[in-house]
A and B are shown apart, each in its own frame.
Chain A
Amino acid sequence: MLSFLIRRLATFLPTFIGVTVIAFAFIRLLPGDPILLLAGERGVSAERYEALRQQFGFDQPVWRQYLDYVWGILHGDLGTSFVTKRPVLDEFMALFPATVELGLCAIILATLLGIPAGVIAAVNRGKFFDQALMSTALVGYSMPIFWWALLLIIVFSGTLGWTPVSGRLGLMYFFDQPTGFMLIDSLLSGQPGAFRSAVSHLILPTIALATIPLAVIARQTRSAMLEVLGEDYVRTARAKGMSPMRVNGIHALRNALIPVVTVIGLSVGTLLAGAILTETIFSWPGIGKWMVDSIFRRDYQAVQGGLLLIALVVMIVNLIVDLTYGFINPKIRKG
């Protein structure tokens, strides 16, 4: 186990270096001079241009800029936003809880619905229910999130008026947010109705964000189940007269879940990508929306820092998934 841990950690480092290179190159490979872009139609005088170049370190040779950048990262300094002039790390940390909250709700919803759906489909293989479920999953998987999210808003908020259109909380509530998790903070605030408001604001973005992982989990569960259901021990159990509920629910599902857990872990990347669109549509003040805002404002420092942090989160989650998986299934450790 220890050697697996070390091996896995050893691949972490080069990946991380690769990510720093990509994030760093990203803003330098994009067409156009960021400083000219900041100035726009108005134009900028030569002296002012030079001063801005120096201020943002663009006058240094590229290798030097990269070393400064990495040096900064090692000291927890991801640079200062071009636009807000605040440290990128502070901006990120202030918004991250909102994204985590939404992401967790989405993954929980996707798991709670996806696994049973996959099991039922597998057990009823080839029947109408299976086909209906799998084609729905395919539709869910291929649906453009921004369109789907807008459709949800128009139907459930605009037409039916069941849920608020966007935001995280009703505008009449105003309180400190010590944890950044609205479900917790609204309870702590002691304001009546705040928690309900927070929940009602979570519903649509959670559904929008859960759609793709839900489809993936349902399909993965189905195929894992089908594989397991064909195994000898399941047939034996069945032959011994065990109830179908016991066979499917306990014997088969437990083993089928191993690959499903991996899929859930891998969904974190998908979730973060989906969050960029979902948060923008629902005015959800998380890092996804922040990244979009930064790109529109050409706030390169923020984009560069944000990319790195998001990549880091995905890598850490994958590392944890791998380690857990290795822990459950010893075969993996050898590979």
Chain B
Amino acid sequence: MRKLIAISLSAMLMGSAASAANLVYCSEGSPEGFDPALYTSGTSFDASARNVMNTLVEFTHGETSTEPGLAESWEVSEDGTEYTFHLRQGVKFHTTDFFTPSRDFNADDVIFTFDRQGNADSPYHQMTQGGSYEYYNSMSMPDLIKSIEKVDDYTVKFILSRPEAPMLANLAMPFASILSKEYADKLVEAGTPELMNQQPIGTGPFKFVGYQKDAVIRFARNDDYWQEPAAIENLIFAITPDASVRYQKLKAGECHVMPYPNPADLEAMKSDENINVVSREGLNVGYLAYNTKQEPFDKPEVRKALNMAMDKKAIVDAIFQGAGAVAKNPIPPTMWSYNDAIEDDPYDPEAAKKMLEDAGVTDLSMKVWAMPVQRPYNPNARRMAEMIQADFAKVGVKAEIVSYEWGEYLERSKAEDRDGAVLLGWTGDNGDPDNFLAVLLGCDAVGSANRALWCNEEFDDLIQKAKVESDQAERTKLYEQAQVVFKDQAPWATIAHSVVNEPISSKVQGYKIDPFGGHVFYGVSLAE
């Protein structure tokens, strides 16, 4: 009898130790590397920045708002050009088989992290052969950051060349993950600088254990984490590129979380009691941008009439098959400052026809551009264009669908003499409305990402003011006002925000979909 109890007890213990401790994530692809400053893809950030590292300022788990990270607090100067960060003390870099830190995280690590990206003369600039800092460059950091000064071991001052309200959100992005200078020094001394990109060291909740290329990445819990240690003991990425196979693995219990399900499988997943499908609206927008420099699309009433001619509900239902919501604003609803009071243009072909007649537009022929690629904000642009074409025909507008190879499409759609309206979209980087409104609709962006070529003084004034304002409540008011101007002027037909679905095992608790499309496993636990 005693023996029996002993056996069942040990079986219980073993059972719980085995299942409660290991979380397997069936990731969709191999990371390009483990140095987040070098890459731009979410797949690489999941395997490094988001689980292994920290930034000075961090995004609140599952939100687009920010909170203190490795910087405990900060002050911004009156004119908005000096940011002073007070760093957290007693933060330890990971101790692993390949590195044992001799000191805590401090100001040197912060300066090292940014200097190596911006300063081509830094001895750490080329630790990875041929590597370049795409994100740092594309965020205009080189001309924004004038200098970074070490005030003392735990105080760092960023001096900017101009006020930049999204600065804090920028510093929460993966490219700004703080790396260890001591580790870099050790690698350079050993003549193996490239290991920086292969065996990452950070301060995050999980530490890197090993990577078998294209197969498995292993992480272990960081027991010395500066916040409460993670609930999961081992985090394993099982690289599984095929969505149907990921689903089979989830069903068989071989993994607990999978990204990017096939839309066709969602129904079956939802009816499986061992699987929960968590969903949230993605931080993106799909739109049709008119060329506002060209007749008759220079008239807001023509653009509005066309918007009213489109049955957006039907389009979104058909294209996204339940994984999308109709958009009324150029920023997604999960973003702060989203103006929910805005009324979308109603679907009303009769009124649209009349408005076109009133504007003196008859026999209008136009082009509708369809993207050749799938994107989260538009999984089937060709089909979408066809539906728009049919809707336009009902109000007497003839639309011709055109498409180009993707690189060409992006290039040609910027041209000021471009003919017609372009389907495109955007996925946010940092949760700041500026990252949508200024990048896509500001006057400075005409000729680049502003595909409507729309430069409206009132709108631009509002977003410029918001850009230099550091009080978030004030910024919110300005952005809400800007959305009113946008809707009134209608440079785009806002079409959809896609919904992100993630099937997870019903054992997984505390998992939140990251609004930036990342996969974060801190705060997640496994039930029996």
Contact = CB atoms under 8 A, between A and B. Distances in A.
B33 interface: yes
Contacts of B244: 150, 153
A84 to B, nearest CB: 5
Interface stretch (B179-187, B232-240, B319-327): B232-240
A52 B137 CA distance: 12
A171 B216 contact: yes
A321 B22 CA distance: 48
Interface string B193-217: 0100100000000000110111110
Given A43-B449, A167-B216, A280 B242 contact: yes
A167 B238 contact: yes
Interface in A290-325: 290, 292-293, 296-297
Contact of A282 (B245, B251, B406): B245
Given A41-B426, A177-B212, A52 B132 contact: yes
Interface string B245-281: 1001101101000000000000000000000000000
B90 interface: no
Contacts of B424: 41
A168 B212 CA distance: 11
Contacts of B210: 174
Nearest to A299: B32
A166 B240 CA distance: 8
Contacts of B130: 55, 80, 85
A48 B137 contact: yes
A280 B218 CA distance: 21
B138 interface: yes
Interface string A81-111: 0011110000100110000000000000000
Interface residues of A, number: 50
B227 interface: no
Interface in A238-269: none
Interface stretch (B65-73, B342-350, B407-415): B407-415
Contacts, number: 125
B410 A41 contact: yes
B405 interface: yes
Contacts of B410: 36, 40-41, 43
A280 B241 contact: yes
Contact of A281 (B128, B132, B137, B245): B245
A32 B408 contact: yes
A165 B213 contact: no
A85 B241 contact: no
Interface string A168-190: 11010010010000000000000
Contact of A283 (B40, B41, B132, B241): B241
A293 B252 CA distance: 25
B215 A285 contact: yes
Interface size bracket, B side: 35 or more
Contact of A165 (B197, B245, B408): B245
A154 interface: yes
A44 B449 CA distance: 10
Contacts of B22: 171
B60 interface: no
A31 B210 CA distance: 38
A289 interface: yes
Interface string B163-185: 00000000000000000000000
A36 B138 contact: no
Interface in A2-53: 31-33, 36-37, 40-45, 48, 51-52
A280 B251 CA distance: 19
A86 B196 CA distance: 13
A193 interface: no
Contacts of B448: 43
A94 B407 contact: no
A85 B197 contact: yes
B252 A158 contact: yes
A296 B245 CA distance: 18
B254 A31 contact: no
Given A36-B407, A43-B449, A85 B245 contact: no
Interface string A129-161: 000000000000000000000100110011001
A118 interface: no
B517 interface: no
Given A41-B410, A168-B215, A283-B242, A154 B248 contact: yes
Contacts of B239: 283, 285
Contact of A285 (B214, B242, B407): B214
A41 B371 CA distance: 11
B240 A283 contact: yes
B245 A37 contact: no
Given A95-B213, A165-B248, A168-B215, A36 B411 contact: yes
Contact of B238 (A45, A150, A283): A283
Interface in B305-324: none
A216 to B, nearest CB: 26
Contacts of B375: 41
Contacts of B38: 85
Given A80-B129, A85-B129, A164 B254 contact: yes
Contacts of B236: 171
Contact of A158 (B41, B215, B248, B425): B248
Contacts of A95: 213-214
B131 A85 contact: yes
B407 A165 contact: no
Contacts of A32: 405-408
B405 A31 contact: yes
Given A36-B411, A80-B130, A177-B212, A289 B241 contact: yes
B245 A166 contact: yes
Q: Which of A52, A158, A168 gathers most chain B CB within 10 Å? A: A158
Given A32-B406, A83-B32, A161-B252, A44 B138 contact: yes
Interface of B: 22, 24, 29-30, 32-33, 38, 40-41, 128-132, 137-138, 194, 197, 209-210, 212-216, 218, 236, 238-242, 244-245, 248-249, 251-252, 254, 375, 405-408, 410-411, 414, 424-426, 448-449
19 contacts: A32-B405, A32-B408, A37-B407, A40-B410, A41-B425, A43-B410, A45-B137, A48-B138, A80-B130, A84-B32, A150-B245, A164-B254, A165-B252, A165-B254, A171-B236, A283-B214, A286-B214, A289-B214, A296-B29
For the complex of A and B, the 7 pairs showing the least CB-CB separation, nearest first, are A285-B214, A36-B407, A32-B407, A285-B215, A31-B405, A165-B249, A283-B240
Given A41-B425, A166-B249, A297-B41, 20 more contacts: A40-B410, A41-B375, A41-B449, A43-B410, A55-B130, A55-B132, A84-B33, A85-B38, A91-B213, A150-B242, A153-B248, A158-B251, A166-B248, A169-B215, A281-B245, A285-B212, A285-B215, A292-B241, A293-B30, A293-B214
